[in-house]
């Protein structure tokens, strides 16, 4: 082995060179394990590690191509097995610059590097890779490549334009990266490749760069072998074969079964290659580009294309996507797409390389670090507005009239969101922050067991029985409760059909009891055919006759259950204790959140095996995980509820200092992911296989799950977000959210509803005042109206909660004083209320 510093012969086991006395290897001191986890998490928020790997790898190679024309450029993925089921994945760009520039140790690399110092930029984790012609911005691929290896181990080599062959490796050991202090060069690099990989990979003989992933993760291997990987490439990079295939550019995936080459998807080849007249197309390019003014600058969109297919197209193609430097970025989410073409409409808007538009786009940092999203900032908002206007013209050409209902709902949604943000901002400014009192139910009823005639079905026939019906009564308080408990079958409207159990039960504090087992035989004429009924357990307070808890289980008699209109699992926080009590979610360093209990309810008739995860995320960038709280496999019985205790959350500085200025909101996110597919889904897959004489591919499985409202393995069953604030007071203002509500003319214009530890504002969209407002489709008027309702309900909430100390101060008036004085007359309080409302609303309008 040769020393990378002085090129003298040394032993491969040496840590320090005996000749120059310098370290053979270099250690990057940082918690790289956590950095890698954060990067992977960012990709998982979008399309996952596998999809992200192809996207980042090709983006690096495409950006490093020598010729703008891409003549004879190639990117090659090659998966092969060496021995004992150990796989190697190489990712090579052919026709690239290679890792050019000086060969420097980390200590020699300056703070600023020009683009041609590609080797130094790749080896120093601070820099992106000197990608001058591609869409790369953040340099996250270097970490993603390491994450793609089961052993967190990659080797990278390069042949530059001037004939230099270079090699280094990167391996994660514990929390730290380990690599050679300098890259090996020429014959020394070839010798080191032989030593590292035993001749299974030969040195490069074409200019470019290669990443060698040792033991790629199983999900990557599977995707390459079953064809999903090439599909991801085709979906993301189809513009390369469209524009450059005639010049020899290509992207290939090689395995022992052969070579697959990325092609143009049918949806685009039919339009651009075959020129089919079955597609309705509107193109803006060349002399017909979409132009607009932005901050005094005249900008152009290089190419815009609206297409309507004669047949439904794949889900991942639908919509108008933004493309930059031939790479698919994000759906721009145009509004008011007619229902008739929702599954057939697609297209793209392409930003021209090195244009004024691209410069502004980059300056405003619009693009997400994983290249799958765009922030709705100034230039993106303007771009979407212009595209929406041209899309409306395209719809008119096709003869589609405006979908009034959809337009109304969209205007309502947009106006409410903007008004809600402004209201909360103003109330925070005035010091108004209100939380709901999180009162818990002391008495709870859980379904303990139930046995239907057929497994995984809650449909029964006449003369069949439902057996082993048990309920668990739980008293969470510290005192005894005298209860009247009944178990019965009921019709949908509540009428009792049959009572199976009725008794008086005294339930001691912090105790529980089981009632049952019971059985129920479905016989005519007592039970109606083709109807839904419920098995119901109710606990009533003997003293005051108040119903304290109810548990109902749906049953369908000789009729198939309708498609699910709600998620299969309900997930919520049952209990959580903050240092300052229920209504204050502030947590300072060294303080602890305790008693975290989640309630998970299976709302289906089949057993569900799932993975529960709880994580703390930085609310300002939701893909940024602060810490894992809990991960556990659980098994949910049909219609049962399970409580899951989580560890305490210690808010220590080491973990939570990642927040901006060491303070800010944190999301406690819990998710439930299916570990096994629904039995109904498996039946649907079997039917598909019989019909098509093949198994569905990954995309078809996804579409099958969506169309049948049943879940596949890996599907998210439930998500629950709960916010708290570190080193700052709860900053949410007043309302957590809004919701449209069809209250009708006899209900008020708006009202308040407690939810998830906070409050939401319900806006009555069928009140005559609001319906009259919508007739003119005036978005500003809607925004003003909704803001006034939000202010009104804020003042109502302060009154209802009797927290008049939060009454907003109005400059030069004594309205707050009048509201707080116990001897104020009613008319004075009404006047103070309306005057405060008028002032705050007028300030908003002004």
pLDDT higher than threshold 70 for residue 523? yes
* Beta partners for residue 83, in sequence order: 86
Q: What is the dihedral of CA 367, 373, 379, 380, to 10 degrees?
A: 170
pLDDT digits over 197-222, tens only? 888 999 999 999 999 999 999 999 99
Instruction: Evaluate if residue 781 carries a pLDDT over 90.
Output: no
> Where is pLDDT greater, at 635 or 135?
635
Mean pLDDT along residues 254-261: 94
Q: Output the pLDDT for position 411.
A: 58
Q: Which of 230-234, 463-467, 526-530 has the lowest mean pLDDT?
A: 526-530
Section 674-683 average pLDDT: 84
Contact partners, residue 612, CB within 8 Å, separation at least 6: 598, 600, 630, 631, 632, 633, 634, 644, 670, 671, 672
Whether pLDDT at 436 is above 80: no
> Confidence band (pLDDT; 50, 70, 90) for 727?
confident
Calculate the average pLDDT of the chain: 85
Q: What is the mean pLDDT of residues 416-432?
A: 71
pLDDT of residue 435: 55
pLDDT of residue 12: 75
Q: Is 401 exposed, middle or buried (0-12, 13-18, 19+ CB in 10 A)?
A: exposed
pLDDT, one tens digit per residue, over 130-177 is: 454 544 444 566 788 999 999 999 999 999 988 999 999 988 887 777
pLDDT band at 846 (very low <50, low <70, confident <90, very high): low
Q: What is the mean pLDDT of residues 438-448?
A: 74
- What does the alpha-carbon distance between residue 586 and residue 732 come to, in Å, rounded to a whole number? 11
Please give the residue that has the higher pLDDT: either 24 or 50: 50
Q: What pLDDT does residue 125 have?
A: 58
pLDDT of 16 higher than 70 = yes
Confidence of residue 344 (pLDDT cuts 50, 70, 90): very high
Largest CA distance in the chain: 98
Contact indicator for 757, 746 with CB cutoff of 8 Å: no
Average pLDDT value for residue range 552-569 = 81
Q: Report whether pLDDT(299) > 90.
A: yes
**Among the ranges given (26-35, 353-362, 739-748), the one the predictor scored with the smallest mean pLDDT:** 26-35
pLDDT digits (tens, 9 = 90+) for 592-613: 999 999 999 988 888 899 999 9
Given a cut of 60, is residue 625 above it in pLDDT? yes
Q: What is the pLDDT of residue 208?
A: 94
pLDDT of 354 reads 92
Side-chain half-sphere CA neighbours of 297 within 13 A: 12
Q: Does residue 10 register a pLDDT over 90?
A: no
Q: Parallel, antiparallel, or unpaired: how do β-strands 319-324 and 345-351 relate?
A: parallel
The continuous run of DSSP H or E covering 593 comes out as strand 591-602
- So what's the pLDDT on residue 753? 80
Q: What is d(CA 213, CA 169) in angstroms, rounded to the nearest whole number?
A: 10
pLDDT higher at 11 or 562 = 11
Helices (H) and strands (E) in the chain, counts: 19, 37
pLDDT of 581 higher than 80: no
Please give the Cα distance from 618 to 656 (Å, whole number). Answer: 9
Give yes or no for residue 325 having a pLDDT over 80: yes
H-helix segments, 148-215: 186-197
pLDDT of residue 766: 84
> Which pLDDT score is estimated for 134?
45
Q: What is the pLDDT of residues 395-422, one digit of tens each?
A: 989 988 655 555 556 656 666 667 777 7
Question: For 457-494, how does the pLDDT look when each residue is reduced to its tens digit (9 = 90+)?
Answer: 889 999 999 999 999 999 988 788 899 999 999 988 78
Phi, psi torsion values for 637, nearest 5 degrees = -75, 160
What is the DSSP secondary structure assignment for residue 398, as one 8-state letter? H
Residue 358, pLDDT > 90, answer yes
Question: 512 - beta bridge partners?
Answer: 474
Confidence of residue 705 (pLDDT cuts 50, 70, 90): confident
Residue-level pLDDT at 138 = 43
CB contact at 8 A, 507 and 473: yes
Q: The tokens of 29 are what?
A: 């001191």
Q: What is the pLDDT of residue 429?
A: 64
Whether the per-residue pLDDT at 663 is higher than 80: the answer is no
């Amino acid at each position: 082995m040769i020393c990378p510093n002085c090129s003298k012969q040394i032993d491969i086991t040496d840590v320090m060179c005996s000749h120059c006395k310098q370290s053979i290897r270099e250690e990057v001191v940082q918690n790289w394990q956590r950095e890698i986890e954060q990067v992977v998490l960012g990709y998982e928020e979008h399309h996952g590690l596998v999809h992200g790997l192809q996207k980042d790898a090709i983006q690096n190679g495409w950006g490093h191509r020598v010729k703008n024309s891409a003549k004879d450029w190639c990117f090659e993925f090659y998966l092969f097995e060496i021995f004992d089921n150990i796989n190697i994945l190489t990712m090579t760009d052919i026709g690239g610059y290679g890792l050019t520039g000086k060969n420097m140790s980390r200590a020699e690399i300056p703070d600023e590097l020009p683009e041609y110092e590609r080797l130094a930029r790749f080896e120093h984790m601070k820099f992106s890779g000197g990608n001058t012609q591609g869409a790369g911005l953040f340099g996250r691929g270097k970490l993603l490549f390491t994450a793609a290896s089961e052993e967190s181990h990659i080797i990278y080599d390069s042949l530059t334009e001037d004939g230099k062959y270079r090699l280094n490796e990167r391996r994660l050991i514990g929390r730290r990266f380990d690599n050679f202090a300098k890259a090996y060069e020429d014959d020394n690099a070839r010798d080191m490749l032989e030593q590292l990989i035993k001749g299974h990979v030969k040195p490069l003989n074409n200019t470019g760069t290669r990443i060698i992933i040792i033991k790629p993760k199983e999900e990557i291997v599977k995707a390459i072998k079953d064809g999903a990987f090439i599909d991801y490439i085709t979906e993301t990079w189809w513009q390369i074969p469209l524009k450059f295939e005639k010049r020899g550019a290509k992207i290939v995936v090689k395995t022992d079964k052969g070579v697959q080459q990325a092609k143009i998807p049918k949806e685009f080849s039919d339009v651009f290659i075959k020129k089919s007249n079955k597609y309705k197309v509107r193109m803006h390019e060349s002399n017909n580009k979409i132009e607009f003014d932005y901050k005094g600058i005249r900008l152009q969109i290089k190419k815009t294309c609206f297409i309507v297919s004669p047949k439904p197209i794949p889900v991942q193609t639908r919509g108008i996507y933004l493309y930059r430097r031939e790479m698919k970025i994000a759906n721009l989410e145009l509004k008011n797409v007619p229902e008739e073409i929702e599954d057939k409409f697609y297209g793209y808007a392409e930003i021209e390389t090195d244009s004024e538009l691209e410069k502004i786009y980059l300056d405003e940092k619009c693009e997400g670090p994983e290249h799958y999203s765009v922030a709705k900032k100034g230039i993106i908002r303007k771009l979407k507005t212009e595209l929406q206007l041209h899309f409306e013209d395209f719809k008119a050409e096709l003869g589609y009239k405006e979908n009034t209902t959809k337009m109304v709902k969209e205007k309502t949604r947009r106006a409410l969101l903007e008004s809600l943000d402004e209201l909360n901002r103003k109330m925070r400014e005035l010091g108004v922050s209100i939380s709901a009192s999180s009162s818990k139910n002391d008495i709870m009823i859980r379904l303990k067991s139930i046995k239907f005639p057929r497994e995984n079905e809650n449909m029964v026939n006449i003369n069949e029985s439902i057996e082993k019906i048990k309920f668990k009564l739980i008293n969470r308080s510290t005192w005894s409760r005298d209860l009247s408990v009944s178990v019965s079958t009921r019709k949908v409207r509540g009428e009792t059909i049959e009572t199976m159990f009725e008794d008086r039960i005294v339930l001691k504090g912090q105790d529980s009891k089981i009632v049952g087992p019971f059985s129920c035989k479905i016989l005519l004429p007592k039970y109606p055919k083709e109807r839904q009924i419920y098995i119901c357990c109710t606990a009533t307070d003997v003293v005051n006759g108040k119903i304290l808890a109810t548990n109902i289980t749906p049953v369908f008699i000789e009729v198939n259950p309708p498609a699910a209109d709600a998620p299969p699992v309900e997930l919520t926080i049952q209990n959580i204790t903050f240092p300052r009590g229920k209504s204050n979610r502030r947590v300072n360093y060294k303080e602890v959140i305790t008693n975290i209990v989640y309630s998970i309810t299976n709302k289906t008739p089949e057993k569900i095996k799932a993975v529960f995860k709880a994580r703390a995320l930085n609310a300002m960038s939701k893909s940024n995980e602060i810490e894992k709280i809990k991960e556990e496999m659980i098994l949910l019985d049909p219609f049962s509820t399970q409580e899951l205790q989580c560890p305490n959350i210690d808010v220590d500085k080491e973990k939570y200092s990642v927040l901006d200025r060491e303070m800010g909101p944190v999301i406690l996110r819990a998710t439930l992911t299916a570990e096994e597919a629904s039995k109904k889904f498996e039946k649907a897959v079997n039917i598909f296989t019989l019909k098509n004489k093949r198994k569905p591919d990954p995309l078809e499985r996804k579409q099958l799950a969506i169309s049948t409202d049943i879940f596949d393995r890996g599907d998210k069953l439930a998500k629950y977000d709960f916010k708290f604030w570190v080193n700052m007071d709860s900053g949410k203002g007043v309302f957590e959210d809004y919701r449209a509500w069809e209250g009708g003319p006899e209900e008020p214009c708006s009202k308040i509803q407690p939810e998830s530890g906070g409050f939401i504002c319900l806006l009555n969209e069928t009140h005559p005042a609001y319906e009259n407002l919508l007739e003119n489709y005036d978005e500003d008027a809607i925004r003003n109206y909704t803001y006034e309702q939000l202010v009104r309900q804020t003042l109502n909430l302060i009154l209802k909660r009797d927290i008049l100390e939060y009454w907003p101060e109005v400059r030069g008036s004594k309205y707050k004083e009048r509201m707080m004085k116990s001897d104020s007359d009613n008319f004075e309080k009404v006047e103070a209320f309306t005057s405060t409302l008028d002032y705050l609303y007028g300030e908003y309008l002004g």
